[in-house]
Amino acid sequence: MSGTTTTAPGANSSARGGKPGISKAAQTESIEVSRLASLKSTAITIVNLALFFALWELVARAELLNPLFFPQASDIFSAMWTGFADGTIGPQLWHSLSNLLTGLVVSALIGIPVGLLMGASRTADLVLSPYVWAMVSLPRVALIPLLILILGFGNSMQLTIIILSAVFPIMVNCMAGVKTVDPSLIRAGKVLGASRVQLYRKIVLPFTLPFVISGINQGIARGLVGMLIGELLGGSGEGLGFLLNRAGDNFDSATMYAILIILAVMSVGLVQSMNVLERRAAPWRATPRV
């Protein structure tokens, strides 16, 4: 007998260091399932919103509520279209969005390192915590008169209130993330000879990343509130808050609802962007859905 053996095709590719064919198939199937899930989620969202605004239109046309307070959905989207077409909404949207994004970036640049320092250093925590928690609990609207007195009416005041609104949730979440790192992971790293820098880079920072993303999401919501407070009370005559206030003075409820929808889309869009970033930066955090 010659003793010749037959080798499966996938075995040769494995022996040469390549991925077996079944792994490629599984990877392709996983990508297709992910795409189908994304399309399904998008379709459900579109149908859900369409049904919601259709029901809104029916209720408004039946005048079950006062039309002054509850306009038709078609009137709301007509006011939104007109506002973009005649240049009323576009520049104010850009003003608000640029201020919000600038404030969030500055807040992240300040809040993340300070929060990580407070979580890692007991001394820094003892020194900074009273001031941080005092600012967390202080209503932002109470700062408006002081900021107007110091900075006057204008963009500087609006940007400052956004930063003061967004920076502290980011700071607190980063601090909490460091403090909740599993001590057994730190001990295991020390046993394996990891330096302090390696402990932070390999253990603390990956563990804290979801807390950072959560803090930024909270900062987005708080920063949006600060942006509106600054524009409503700052008296600069710019921003979506100014348009919202003017529409209220004119009893233009359709425009008011249109601006509120734009604000909601801004907030949801920013939060979803951070969720996408978290899935890319921390894929191990993804939870399977049935």
Q: In this predicted structure, what is the pLDDT of residue 147?
A: 87
Residue with tokens 């992240």: 108
Distances (CA, A) of 260 to 43, 48, 80, 204: 23, 19, 10, 39
Confidence of residue 282 (pLDDT cuts 50, 70, 90): low
Confidence of residue 139 (pLDDT cuts 50, 70, 90): confident
pLDDT tens per residue, range 71-97: 989 999 999 999 999 988 999 999 999
User: Residue 97 is encoded by which pair of tokens?
Assistant: 């969005």
What Rg do the C-alpha atoms of the chain give, in angstroms? Answer: 26
Q: In this predicted structure, what is the pLDDT of residue 261?
A: 93
Specify whether the CB–CB gap between 210 and 174 falls below 8 A. Answer: no
User: Residue 124 is encoded by which pair of tokens?
Assistant: 């820094």
State the Cα–Cα distance between residues 20 and 7, nearest whole angstrom: 13
Lowest mean pLDDT among 11-25, 84-98, 118-132, 202-216: 11-25
pLDDT tens per residue, range 214-263: 899 999 999 999 999 888 887 677 888 889 989 988 888 999 999 999 99
Specify whether the CB–CB gap between 5 and 12 falls below 8 A. Answer: no
Q: In this predicted structure, what is the pLDDT of residue 258?
A: 93
Q: What percent of the chain has pLDDT over 90?
A: 28
Q: In this predicted structure, what is the pLDDT of residue 21?
A: 47
Q: Judge whether residue 31 has pLDDT over 80.
A: no
Q: In this predicted structure, what is the pLDDT of residue 287?
A: 53
Q: Judge whether residue 120 has pLDDT over 90.
A: no
Instruction: Tell me the pTM.
Output: 0.78
Q: In this predicted structure, what is the pLDDT of residue 285?
A: 60
Confidence of residue 40 (pLDDT cuts 50, 70, 90): confident
Angle at 120 between CA 116 and CA 122, to 5 degrees: 125
For the chain, the residue count is 290
Specify whether the CB–CB gap between 45 and 223 falls below 8 A. Answer: no
Q: Judge whether residue 191 has pLDDT over 50.
A: yes
Q: Judge whether residue 33 has pLDDT over 80.
A: no
Q: What letter does residue 202 receive in the DSSP assignment?
A: I
Confidence of residue 114 (pLDDT cuts 50, 70, 90): very high
State the Cα–Cα distance between residues 153 and 165, nearest whole angstrom: 18
The CB-based long-range contact list for 200-205 (8 Å cut-off, 24+ gap) reads 200/120, 204/116, 204/120, 204/178
Q: In this predicted structure, what is the pLDDT of residue 20?
A: 46
Confidence of residue 55 (pLDDT cuts 50, 70, 90): very high
> How buried is residue 154: exposed, middle or buried, by Cβ count under 10 Å (0-12/13-18/19+)?
middle
State the Cα–Cα distance between residues 260 and 77, nearest whole angstrom: 12
Confidence of residue 286 (pLDDT cuts 50, 70, 90): low
